[in-house]
Structure 1
Amino acid sequence: MEFPLLNLPSLAYEKVLLNFEVADLVDFSLLSSRCHRIVRSIRFPFTGVYVGVTEHSNMIRFFLDNRQKLYPQEFGITKCDELFMWTSQHISSDELKYVFEKVQISKYLILDLQLADDFECEFVQFSMDKLKIKRPFWITNETFLAMDCVQIQLKDNGNLPIREFVSKWLSSRNTRFEWLKMEWNTHINWNEGFKTMQWNPAIRGRNFRIDSLTRLDCTEGIDFLRDDGLLATVVERNDRIYFVVWHKRFQPEADRLFSV
């Protein structure tokens, strides 16, 4: 049965729209400027979805609530530059596996999700520029060692094989990787099985630039020199471990930044 939705009183059409699926709401908001204003004025039980399209990138951010189907799979997304996903409620394994298997992300992936403690995931190939994951307990050793990202940040991670990660980089010709940051509370004897060096201020600087705001003091770090001349450093500090590569050995611009 059809009826003129916009002729209803505001409280009535709000009740109707609150039962729409997200994809239908998006379509409705595009019908006219009035429809757009109506959708913006209603407080839906999800925080929102932000889609940014510029000359240089396509960005999609999902602020999730399981009371609405606000997931990449719902929109049929298969490719984007940046994908940020947050949720305070459990997300189904099917939705997350869709992101891993179907969505090609080129620049930045952030995952801050509530997952069931028994969630498991087989091999995933992460190859975007920047990767940030909170509670990556489900990441297998194979997935971790195969990460082909420029910057990697893991929080509340399990006991992942950081020694093997460093060893693999040393035996590779990877010139893309810049740094890895992860939580770690067990001291590693890097002199065992590796050819290491102490900091020499004539070879590299003291501070490594993490981002536009922060730097890492590497004076107490352990250095590794790869066969092709690339220098890397491991720093263990405050229950965290950093593995950084000095593509630029002296970074005076980092001296003015905040120390991590």
Structure 2
Amino acid sequence: MAAAPFPLLEISKRCYERVLSLFKLQDLITLSMISKKCRMMPTVIRTKPGCLEVSISRAGTILHLSERDNPNIRWVFNDRILGNPQSFIWEINDNRMEIHLNETGVSINPISAHFSCVSSAIKYLKELLCWSVKSVNIDPTNLPTTMNLAYLRIERCKTLNIFGINHISGGELTEILENVQKKKFLKINVMIYNDFDFNFNPNLLNCKRMLCEKPTHWLTLGDLFQLECTKFIFKKSRFRAQGCIDFIDDWMDGNGEGIDYLLVKFATLERDEPVVSSYLEDPDVVEPRSPGYILDKYTYLDCDDGFDIKHYSGKVATWQVAPDYFYFVVWHNPIHDILQRTPFEF
């Protein structure tokens, strides 16, 4: 004799809230997918704070669901059979759910299917759990045709990290910057082919902090003044020392007043000393300030040897240039507590 169905939707709100509070996160997600009526049930209980982390590479896409007491939940999207790109396996830990897109009766383009599913899943989980996307990590090297970045859609995240050991095309970089739209911290650690003409668009670099660990021949120091970004670190940079000094002159003339700092590690040693205007080395500009400048909650820049300059608006900045590095920092607060932070290394 078959067991009678459990009337979950007919019990009192207090009762099912109590039942749902005992569910594990992955079980809540599974429950929400049973039917439209079950869709919003997990949202009525207080879920633990957490975030989503996205990892994309040739092997597939992984959504990490990071919860304070349960950090190892992941949702994996990968091609089940390379010859059948319309089928995927979604995995929540050891629970495997096969999704056959070609059985849904909906016309699916195999080229867009992968990231259409991923983008939908991210949106679904954000609404279901009221979580944000903490990080998006993308290695775009040799992605299969079923993983077309043009169809990736992530509205906002805290950190976008683009990395890889091989060169990528400028088109791939542009697609990522366009489709991961708003990011607080942009990290680029991948080489771009030299034929890339960026066709500069400030909206693509929509972030507050930028770290480039590979040469950025596609970006100029003058471009930085057009960005909303205020914090820049460039490593292995092809910028020249004279260009960095000209950057300071432009700042003194009123450009880029919102900039907080610019740190540059030159790819090659500078043989020639740059021409520096006398007012940039004025010994009469002596302002009380800390010997170190806080870059983030972990690191500070030792700028005790820098030259202080004063903008006509009253802002004070400190700069220094050496054969292998350059720094420029603006003091919004002259006293920085650098204790318990480590010094930044160029």
Kindly indicate whether structure 1 or structure 2 has the higher relative contact order, using CA contacts under 8 Å at least 6 residues apart: 1
> Of 179, 183, 190, which residue of structure 1 is paired with 2:265?
183
In structure 2, distance between residues paired with 1:201 and 1:191: 17
Q: Secondary structure at the match of 1:98?
A: helix
Q: Secondary structure at the match of 1:110?
A: strand
In structure 2, distance between residues paired with 1:255 and 1:139: 35
Distance 1:121 1:204, change over 3 A: same
Matched, 1:63 2:139: yes
Matched, 1:19 2:99: no
Q: Secondary structure at the match of 1:235?
A: strand
In structure 2, what is the equivalent of residue 230 of structure 1? Answer: 315
In structure 2, what is the equivalent of residue 212 of structure 1? Answer: 297
After alignment, is 160-169 or 146-155 more displaced? 160-169
In structure 1, what is the equivalent of residue 44 of structure 2? Answer: none
In structure 2, distance between residues paired with 1:116 and 1:228: 41
In structure 2, what is the equivalent of residue 41 of structure 1? Answer: none
Equivalent residue runs for 1:189-200 within 5 Å: 189-192=275-278, 194-198=279-283
Matched, 1:130 2:218: no
Distance 1:92 1:150, change over 3 A: same
Q: Give the C-alpha shift of residue 128 in structure 1.
A: 0.9
Q: How many residues align?
A: 231
In structure 2, distance between residues paired with 1:201 and 1:140: 31
- Length-normalised TM-score, structure 2: 0.55
In structure 1, distance between residues paired with 2:225 and 2:332: 21
Asked if the contact 2:226–2:256 (Cα under 8 Å) also holds between the matched residues in 1, the reply is no
Matched, 1:162 2:244: yes
Compare CA radii of gyration and give the structure with the larger one.
Answer: 2
Equivalent residue runs for 1:42-81 within 5 Å: 55=131, 57-68=133-144, 70=147, 72-77=149-154, 79-81=156-158
Distance 1:20 1:213, change over 3 A: farther
Equivalent residue runs for 1:240-255 within 5 Å: 240-251=325-336, 253-255=337-339
Equivalent residue runs for 1:89-104 within 5 Å: 89-101=166-178, 103-104=180-181
Q: Secondary structure at the match of 2:246?
A: helix
Equivalent residue runs for 1:97-112 within 5 Å: 97-101=174-178, 103-112=180-189
In structure 2, what is the equivalent of residue 152 of structure 1? Answer: 232
Distance 1:215 1:73, change over 3 A: same
In structure 2, distance between residues paired with 1:220 and 1:182: 16
Equivalent residue letter for 1:151:
K
Q: Give the C-alpha shift of residue 245 in structure 1.
A: 0.8
Equivalent residue letter for 1:68:
P
- Length-normalised TM-score, structure 1: 0.71
In structure 1, distance between residues paired with 2:231 and 2:261: 5
Q: Percent identity?
A: 19
Q: Give the C-alpha shift of residue 172 in structure 1.
A: 2.9
In structure 1, distance between residues paired with 2:286 and 2:174: 46
* Superposed CA RMSD: 3.7
Q: Give the C-alpha shift of residue 73 in structure 1.
A: 2.4
Asked if the contact 1:199–1:222 (Cα under 8 Å) also holds between the matched residues in 2, the reply is no
Q: Give the C-alpha shift of residue 177 in structure 1.
A: 2.2
In structure 1, distance between residues paired with 2:250 and 2:86: 44
Q: Give the C-alpha shift of residue 55 in structure 1.
A: 4.5
Distance 1:36 1:228, change over 3 A: farther
> Of 35, 49, 54, which residue of structure 1 is paired with 2:96?
35
Asked if the contact 1:207–1:255 (Cα under 8 Å) also holds between the matched residues in 2, the reply is no
Q: Give the C-alpha shift of residue 29 in structure 1.
A: 0.7
After alignment, is 165-174 or 112-121 more displaced? 165-174
In structure 2, distance between residues paired with 1:74 and 1:102: 8
Distance 1:57 1:74, change over 3 A: closer
In structure 2, distance between residues paired with 1:16 and 1:167: 54
Distance 1:67 1:165, change over 3 A: same
In structure 1, what is the equivalent of residue 160 of structure 2? Answer: 83
Asked if the contact 1:199–1:221 (Cα under 8 Å) also holds between the matched residues in 2, the reply is no
In structure 1, distance between residues paired with 2:302 and 2:84: 50
